[in-house]
Amino acid sequence: MTPRVAPAQTPLPPAKLEALKRELIGEIDQQQKATQQMVDMVFSFGELGFQETETSRYLTGILKKNGFVIQTGIAGVPTAWTATWGSGKPVIAIGSDIDCIPKASQKPGVAYHDPIVEGAPGHGEGHNSGVPLNITAVLALKKIMEREKLPGTLMLWPGAAEELVATKAYFVRDGYFKNVDACIFTHVSDNLKVSWGDNGYTGLMSVKFTFEGQAAHAGAAPWRGRSALDAVELMDVGWNFHREHMDVSQRSHSVITDGGDQPNVVPSKAAVWYYFRERTYPKIREMYADALKMAEGATLMTKTTVTHEVLGSAWPIHLNKAIAQAMYQNIRRVGLPQWSAADQVLARAAQAETNAPKTDRLNRPLDGLATRLDTLVGPATSTYGGSDDIGDISWSVPTVVLHYPANIPGLPGHHWANAIAMATPIAHKGVTAGAKAEALTLLDLLVKPEIIKEAWAYFNDVQTKNTKYTPLISDTDKPAITLNQGIMAQYRPQMTKFYYNPAKYKTYLEQLGIAYPTVRPAAPKASAQ
């Protein structure tokens, strides 16, 4: 694959570029109120994957108001969209995820479990913050591009249903990145950082197996039944025995999504949903093939039948060296936010509440919020285990992921505790810092054509030299857009009552009546006897 970038405008003199960068930083500082409102608003929606209707309507409304051309329903996903502004080369895609976590409803700024709506979904990873960051950065950059007449096309897009790893492969398959020259993705974290190369993430296939048998009275005539639930359980038993003989890099896990209706009826239908994770495309496909055999074996043992559906997929991530190096210089310039004493009190209380480890994966002390920047990280030497379908885009166009410090270190992840900080000053400051690093890097990509040239050289000569992208989805697979409909239908009426109203309240904390920070009262000391 050859670079698709056309010659950019004449590079700016260093003094001019420096002046524009200072202007960008100042403009983003002036946008802090708007940034806070976006972060808090999306937090209050708390929508699960494929059901991010309010989130997408709100975010595209802001972009449309600012002159972006909106295309909705991309790749057959109702909550996915692109928002495009500008003209000419380079074309830069700017993305972040928007969905949340089941059962993660949590009042922000409260350092113990206190749901807004009991049992409801919530932003227990922090995906409410990424697109607001991108909008903040791009609107600041847009002012400069218009005034300075800088060519270039900016395309914002959301990672809908990322927690299901269920859309980005379709975006690639359906051609939304075919003319893109570079991609910057943002993801919530506890530091301001970027990496390049293979970062240790797994790829995966998400597959649901549905078994069908025959119902019967479980007490009076069980011999007339054929239990689909038996088939599910036998498949699970077989897979668990199989783990002993698999590479240590694999991760695989499942949930039974349908186990029958009631005990006195032999289940005629049952379903199990698996994630099969591995470090390479061939190993992922091998796990998938093994699972198909196990499912078929379960049918033979139970005289049932089985069908399967691919619900999502992700390639292992490989990030671009040239863009990461350019971004890290801007990260060093921006630095970490200045955390207040209240921010640190909340962070330490949340760490204590969740029994956070005393050190991180690199054996560095964990004590409150980060006060020291991470270094630029190259290829990983171990398996991380997690997955993200940004991997598919990273194998299609030079891509980096900007991690920004909007959450608390040491929390469990995919958990209500990871929502504690996400509509508080911690998230607001972290998003502002990330927006600065992103905007400065976007400006570099616009006026330094050598960065994109070097990015494509790395992509062609190193990343894809011996590994070629082959989609894990087929040409006939379709996004599973009905997932989470029932959960949102159950909880949305209650959640709607708590949507943020920025016209009436300065912050979501104020609307909820939360004193910042709220921590558990200290236990009274025993009196001397």
Distance, CA of 194 to CA of 319 (rounded, Å): 9
Say if residue 192 is in the same domain as residue 223. Answer: no
Which CATH number belongs to the domain containing residue 431 in this structure?
3.40.630.10
C-alpha–C-alpha distance, residues 137 and 134, integer Å: 5
- pTM comes to 0.96
Task: Single out the residue in 314, 347, 381 at which a domain terminates.
Answer: 314
Q: Do 283 and 333 fall within a single domain?
A: no
Q: Report how many domains make up the chain.
A: 2
Residues 259 and 230 both lie in one domain: yes
The helix-helix angle for 425-447 and 449-458 (nearest 10°) equals 90
Query: What pLDDT is recorded for position 115?
Result: 98
Q: How many CB atoms lie within 10 A of CB 318?
A: 24
Q: Quick one: 109 and 249 in the same domain?
A: no
Residues 62 and 124 in one domain: yes
- Reported as type and span, the H/E element at residue 81 is strand 81-87
Q: Give the pLDDT score at 1.
A: 56
pLDDT of residue 525: 58
Q: What integer pLDDT is reported at residue 365 of this predicted model?
A: 87
Per the CB < 8 A criterion, the answer to whether 433 and 192 are in contact is yes
**Which is nearest to 92 in space by CA: 29, 148, 157?**
157
Q: Which amino acid is at 474?
A: S
In the 8-state DSSP scheme, what is residue 227?
A: -
pLDDT of residue 496: 98
SS (H, E, C) 360-414: CCCCCECCCCCCCCCCCECCCCCCCCCCCCHHHHHCCCCEEEEEEECCCCCCCCC
Phi, psi at 216, each rounded to 5°? -165, 165
Q: Is 500 contained in some domain?
A: no
In the DSSP assignment, the letter for residue 73 is: S
List the pLDDT tens digit at each of the 529 positions of the chain. Answer: 555 554 555 678 999 999 999 999 999 999 999 999 999 999 999 999 999 999 999 999 999 999 999 999 999 999 999 999 999 999 999 999 999 999 999 999 999 999 999 999 999 999 999 999 999 999 999 999 999 999 999 999 999 999 999 999 999 999 999 999 999 999 999 999 999 999 999 999 999 999 999 999 999 999 999 999 999 999 999 999 999 999 999 999 999 999 999 999 999 999 999 999 999 999 999 999 999 999 999 999 999 999 999 999 999 999 999 999 999 999 999 999 999 999 999 999 999 999 999 988 778 889 999 999 999 999 988 888 899 999 999 999 999 999 999 999 999 999 999 999 999 999 999 999 999 999 999 999 999 999 999 999 999 999 999 999 999 999 999 999 999 999 999 999 999 999 999 999 999 999 999 999 999 987 555 554 4
- The CA dihedral of 307, 317, 433, 361, to the nearest 10 degrees, is 100
Point out the domain boundary residue: 248, 279, 314: 314
Look at the block and give the residue holding tokens 């998938």.
Answer: 288
What's the pLDDT at 529?
47
**Same domain as 332, residue 229:** no
Query: Nearest-CA neighbor of 426 among 412, 439, 411, 414?
Result: 411
What per-residue confidence (pLDDT) applies to 522?
77
- Identify whether 64 is part of a domain: yes
Q: Tell whether 155 and 234 lie within a shared domain.
A: no
**CA separation, residue 412 to residues 4, 357, 366, 526 (Å):** 41, 10, 13, 32
Does 498 map to a domain? no
- 510: tokens are 């104020």
Q: Give the list of residues 6+ apart from residue 105 with CB closer than 8 angstroms, or none.
A: 46, 115, 116, 117, 118, 119, 120, 121, 122, 416, 419, 495
Instruction: Identify the pLDDT of residue 524.
Output: 59
Are 205 and 472 contacting, i.e. CB atoms less than 8 angstroms apart? yes
Q: How far apart are CA 252 and CA 385, in angstroms?
A: 10
Instruction: Based on the fold, state whether residues 66 and 165 are members of the same structural domain.
Output: yes
Single out the residue in 314, 341, 371 at which a domain terminates.
Answer: 314
Residue 419 covered by a domain: yes
User: How far, in Å, CA of 527 to CA of 524, rounded?
Assistant: 9
Q: How far is CA 241 from the centre of its chain?
A: 32
d(CA 218, CA 213): 13
Is 100 inside any structural domain?
Answer: yes
Which residue range(s) make up the domain with 37? 14-201+316-489
